[in-house]
Structure 1
């Protein structure tokens, strides 16, 4: 799947996910065991606050045998092109490479609480996202979660609430508010203990996944890697 392609999908009454998006069936199959060996939809490079150059992250993704990958630097998609080039080099040598999806992590206000939103599978050149890809959070009305969701959807992507249990408000309240605003889902499986070797936190991740299932929303997972290894944070 070409990274950053503009995907067409049909509008439905909110908060139903854009079913025509090709990433939807992947996220519908997310389980606690998918990350970090098969799927990683949340990681960072030196293009924001990570320690891995995009090429190094691509090297590790190939070595780990990832099937799907999205790099979600803060307010930046600068890693996308070097990632594409490096993966193309591996592909030309006959290596199996992950499906690369465009990604970004955007700060916004949800219920008056500063949260992070993961945009996945969008057109990185779409004008609607331009204000959110300048390296820092926006100010004013564009900082509201609803505005961020609309921008991601306008660019053909999916909007998911990142690590719902890391904020000052309870995760069940934030997920409900995000659903009311038309978010497509949330990051269900996350290592809140931030261990060296990633594994989803018990109880809290199960509770998040159960709420998303009740609401008919998508589930995601990722290591939120900022260090030098994709196996942990």
Structure 2
């Protein structure tokens, strides 16, 4: 049963709130249980586990959250496309067992498997034999992604660190940057709503868009039924936060009718050695309406 059928108490949002993080069920390092324990140490009282295109880690995280007295929202970060642009849509307070979410995940599982095979084939042409098996082993039961190929390249001694792996082989425009026909953004928002959740546009500043294009993205996201935008994702310059808020105001001015876009936030935590993406390290600016108002008493 999704938590949206209940209401969040004041205690749930009294401490740090983190609505975007990743465990070893996708491309994070920590197990779901270890991630929840780390969140507790950081003072997090409301957490959403939002692994890429999977909810496989939620059950274990839910048990740990009960032991740590943390309110855990079931979440996911779905990969989608807006035209030719890949975007990420976070689903918050979804029903992980819903049929709609199952279809959305199965579709992306197939696309990710195809992409992994193509990445491996391209790497093997460059002499990196065993890339697919190595990446799958590192992913374990989790969703395979480019970070697993990067870790394998380092583990196998081909490169000194994961940053170099992305810079030379896996980053944008490189051999391992395989185009995928991800589901449309509007369809993705529909899948999240069908699963009882709220749709949040993740890290809008990380897509490398001009301000005009970003405003168009926000407008179309809003028009397609999107609920909120990550105003803060990881540690960012206050100027960047103000830019996002200004763009949201412009979108609201254009679309006077209908509900406004709410504000969300998250660390986008993946691993412990990235202090700029540490669990519980971000806060919303004053004067914004938080996405958790949807479920708050």
Q: Shorter-normalised TM-score: what interval?
A: 0.7 to 0.9
- 1:82 is matched with 60
* Paired residue secondary structure (2:54): coil
Aligned ranges 1:18-33 → 2 under 5 Å: 22=7
| Greater Cα shift, 51-60 or 200-209 | 200-209
In structure 1, stretches of 5+ residues that fail to align are 9-20, 91-96, 192-198
Task: Give TM-score, length-normalised by structure 2.
Answer: 0.59
1:5 partnered with 2:2? yes
Correspondent of 1:157 among 183, 192, 197: 197
- 2:231 is matched with 188
Distance 1:135 1:75 in 2: 9
Distance 1:231 1:101 in 2: 23
User: Are 2:200 and 2:226, in contact at CA under 8 Å, matched by a contact in 1?
Assistant: yes
Deviation digits for residues 102-151 of structure 1 (CA, Å, limit 9, x no counterpart): 11001111133110000000111111111222494666997001111111
User: Are 1:108 and 1:143, in contact at CA under 8 Å, matched by a contact in 2?
Assistant: yes
Bigger Rg, which one: 2
- 1:217 is matched with 261
- 2:43 is matched with 65
Distance 2:110 2:248 in 1: 28
User: Are 1:189 and 1:200, in contact at CA under 8 Å, matched by a contact in 2?
Assistant: yes
Distance 2:181 2:36 in 1: 36
| Deviation for aligned residue 1:231 | 5.2
The change in CA–CA distance for 1:180 and 1:137 in structure 2 (over 3 A counts) is farther
Distance 1:63 1:53 in 2: 15
User: Are 1:186 and 1:218, in contact at CA under 8 Å, matched by a contact in 2?
Assistant: yes
The change in CA–CA distance for 1:110 and 1:182 in structure 2 (over 3 A counts) is same
| Deviation for aligned residue 1:182 | 1.0
The change in CA–CA distance for 1:220 and 1:145 in structure 2 (over 3 A counts) is same
- 1:202 is matched with 238
The change in CA–CA distance for 1:138 and 1:219 in structure 2 (over 3 A counts) is farther
User: Are 2:51 and 2:75, in contact at CA under 8 Å, matched by a contact in 1?
Assistant: yes
Deviation digits for residues 159-199 of structure 1 (CA, Å, limit 9, x no counterpart): 011001111433222111111111001111123xxxxxxx3
- 1:115 is matched with 87
Distance 2:82 2:73 in 1: 25
Distance 1:137 1:116 in 2: 15
| Deviation for aligned residue 1:53 | 0.7
Task: Give TM-score, length-normalised by structure 1.
Answer: 0.74
Distance 2:194 2:218 in 1: 21
In structure 2, stretches of 5+ residues that fail to align are 112-179, 253-259, 278-297
Distance 1:155 1:6 in 2: 12
Distance 1:151 1:135 in 2: 12
* Paired residue secondary structure (1:67): strand
Correspondent of 1:144 among 172, 176, 184: 184
Root mean square deviation of aligned Cα: 2.9
Aligned residue pairs: how many?
A: 196
